[in-house]
Amino acid sequence: DQQVKQNSPSLSVQEGRISILNCDYTNSMFDYFLWYKKYPAEGPTFLISISSIKDKNEDGRFTVFLNKSAKHLSLHIVPSQPGDSAVYFCAASSSGANSKLTFGKGITLSVRP
Amino acid sequence: DTAVSQTPKYLVTQMGNDKSIKCEQNLGHDTMYWYKQDSKKFLKIMFSYNNKELIINETVPNRFSPKSPDKAHLNLHINSLELGDSAVYFCASSLQARRTGWSYNSPLHFGNGTRLTVT
């Protein structure tokens, strides 16, 4: 049962334009969401997070939006750069003892020069 | 300096063999994890240790045995390897208050993965 879904396997955008990566979740107990970025042959690295008490969090070129009623979040990258080309994982967690991160299967972003 | 390091990076072995993957973190974190990324690309948690104590054990075959000699190390030993064990295994660490769950200020830091191929 996929509790975190990234339904689009890939996205290609032009350098300088906006990249929008989407993520849906099914578990209403999730209250903390993260995005990770992964380059080939490396481990995922933390990018940005958002708590369920917020609907937006911004860090430089990266903004995450959370729509709790729709159980949907998105990552916006503006402007996109070729170095942003990577796999992006959405992850979610509930609070409480021994909670764990549940990951989606990732979206491959390609930014064309 | 590498924050979370795991060895080896590649591991090719035959069915039935026993192998180990080692992981070390120098971040001062108190919680370490093993994740498995299978052919479908999902990252799934296998185990989590907090201060050397097992706190998460997903439905993983008992051929997999994690060992944490101290809170900076979490090794994964796999007995009687099977073809289906072929995957990329990631070690990770974080700060986590055991009784209250996630520390929101401490996301997971991952190693670079070990690609295990069982032939």
Cβ–Cβ below 8 Å for A105 and B41:
yes
**Of all residues in chain A, what percent carry a pLDDT higher than 70?**
96
Q: Sorting pLDDT into bands at 50, 70 and 90, what band is B51?
A: confident
CB–CB contact A97 B98 (8 Å): yes
Which stretch of A92-106, B18-32, B66-80 has the lowest confidence by average pLDDT? A92-106
Nearest CA in chain A to B42: A105
Residues B76-87 have a mean pLDDT of 96
Question: Is residue B99 over pLDDT 70?
Answer: no
Mutate to test the interface with A, among B108, B109, B114, B115 (most CBs of A within 10 A): B108
Query: Residue A74 and residue A87: Cα distance in Å, rounded?
Result: 14
Exposure pattern of A36-73 as b/e (b: 16+ CB <10 Å)? bbbeeeebbebbbbbebeeeeeeeeebbbbbeeeebeb
Nearest CA in chain B to A103: B43
Does the beta-carbon distance from B110 to A45 stay under 8 Å?
Answer: yes
Average pLDDT over residues B12-21: 97
